[in-house]
């Protein structure tokens, strides 16, 4: 059974295993980059983002959730509560990832659907989801969840596709 949970100390060992499994791979969404040697402090930082506290310039409040299967974290999502001009241009409402050993099993579609539903609960009727043009797996995932390509932009020399789910 899959469930979406708020990050907690109950999953510390699974989280550390997930981070180790990612190795040198880019950690996405951004909370996976938070320093985690003090796990309680990391959880407090994630909660502060949810509450809109101590948010760095250019960021907006966001909620992080872990996708759990059999007491193990198999995915992570971060949902921005709203967009500022910078994030609307390149970033969108949702960032997610699936643990490398759990990829290719449809978990990304499930996590994206849950993330879209959560973004809508936060009052976003039109959900923006962006991905790099070279990331065909992300594009397929977004389209499978109802994403319609509406534009693309070039950011730092890379083409970014911008989708909307209405």
pLDDT over threshold 90, residue 47: yes
Instruction: Identify the band that residue 26 occupies on the pLDDT scale cut at 50, 70 and 90.
Output: confident
What's the CA gap between 34 and 81, in Å, rounded?
19
Q: What local confidence, expressed as pLDDT, does residue 64 receive?
A: 98
Helix locations, 11-147, DSSP H: 12-22, 39-51, 85-89, 107-121, 136-144
Determine if the pTM surpasses 0.85.
yes
Domain ranges of the chain: 2-125
pLDDT over threshold 90, residue 28: no
pLDDT for 92-151, tens place per residue? Answer: 999 999 999 999 999 999 999 999 999 999 999 999 999 999 999 999 999 999 999 999
DSSP 8-state secondary structure symbol assigned to residue 38: S
- Mean pLDDT for 62-84 is 98
Q: Where is average pLDDT lowest: 26-30, 37-41, 70-74, 119-123?
A: 26-30
What is the fold of 2-125? Aminopeptidase (3.40.630)
- Mean pLDDT for 69-75 is 97
């Amino acid at each position: 059974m899959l469930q979406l949970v708020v990050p907690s100390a109950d999953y510390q060992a699974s989280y550390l295993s997930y981070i180790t499994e990612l190795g040198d791979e880019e950690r996405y969404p951004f909370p996976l980059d938070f320093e985690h040697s003090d796990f309680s402090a990391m959880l407090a930082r994630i909660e502060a983002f949810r509450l809109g506290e101590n948010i760095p310039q250019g960021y907006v409040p966001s909620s992080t959730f872990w996708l759990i299967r059999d007491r193990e974290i198999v995915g992570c999502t971060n949902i921005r509560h709203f967009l500022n001009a910078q994030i609307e241009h390149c970033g969108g409402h949702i960032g997610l990832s699936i643990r490398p050993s759990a990829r290719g099993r449809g978990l990304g579609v499930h996590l994206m659907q849950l993330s879209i539903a959560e973004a809508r609960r936060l009052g976003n009727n039109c959900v923006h989801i962006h991905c790099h043009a070279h990331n065909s797996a992300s594009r397929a995932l977004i389209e499978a969840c109802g994403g319609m390509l509406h534009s693309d932009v070039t950011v730092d020399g890379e083409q970014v596709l911008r989708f909307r789910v209405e």
